[in-house]
Amino acid sequence: MSRPFIVTAVLPPDIQGWAEGLRRAHFPPERNHLHAHVTLFHAFAPSLLDELKDFLPGIVREFAAPTARITGLMDLGKGTAIALESEELLRLRSLIAEHFHGTLTDQDLHEPRLHITIQNKVTKEEARALQAALAPQVDPRGFAFPALDLHRYEGGPWSHEKRMPFRGKERA
């Protein structure tokens, strides 16, 4: 069975720690195999590994860390996420998508709604209750993504392949 590759935007330590705490508290523990993350691409084919390892570091060398903003909570139906806005990250994602045109899965053809999942695969009632409880505690705030990460899907957990810090001066 082939194991696809996933590309995520790395959260800064303060946002990562906060989101991890929420995820540990509210994600069903038997399903919580991952750290808090922002997925940009869900499934690159295994055959693209060398190209990913060449192309992605080139992109992050050119661009400054994309800025973002926490805007509140996102209802996932049977889950809850921290909603994010980042035009810069979405522009950067578009450059990557354009480069890999013709190889993207249906799921990755569409621009994502940026978010950090903190609860998933619960009842709609549980999700809405958490959203009501957390809404007053989630203040809008800005931050910058320091890097991109490349992971391999391992049937639940992911294995980390490569971290690529943003180093450029140009904005995406």
Residue 172 inside a domain? The answer is no
Question: What pLDDT sits at residue 32?
Answer: 82
What CATH number corresponds to the domain at position 94? Answer: 3.90.1140.10
Residue 171 inside a domain? The answer is no
How far, in Å, CA of 33 to CA of 13, rounded? Answer: 19
Residue 66 inside a domain? The answer is yes
Residue 101 inside a domain? The answer is yes
Residue 25 inside a domain? The answer is yes
Number of domains in the chain: 1
DSSP string, 5-53: EEEEEPPPHHHHHHHHHHHHHHS-GGG--S-S-EEEEEEE-GGGHHHHH
Residue 72 inside a domain? The answer is yes
Residue 170 inside a domain? The answer is no
Decide: 34 and 19 in contact? Cβ < 8 Å. no
Structural domain boundaries, residue 55? 5-165
Question: What pLDDT sits at residue 120?
Answer: 92
Question: What pLDDT sits at residue 53?
Answer: 93
Residue 103 inside a domain? The answer is yes
The one-digit pLDDT tens for each residue of the chain (172 residues) are 579 999 999 999 999 999 999 999 998 888 888 899 999 999 999 999 999 999 999 999 999 999 999 999 999 999 999 999 999 999 999 999 999 999 999 999 998 999 999 999 999 999 999 999 999 999 999 999 999 999 999 988 899 999 999 998 877 6
Question: What pLDDT sits at residue 169?
Answer: 80
Question: What pLDDT sits at residue 10?
Answer: 97
Compute the half-sphere exposure of residue 55: CA atoms within 13 Å on the CB side of its CA.
15
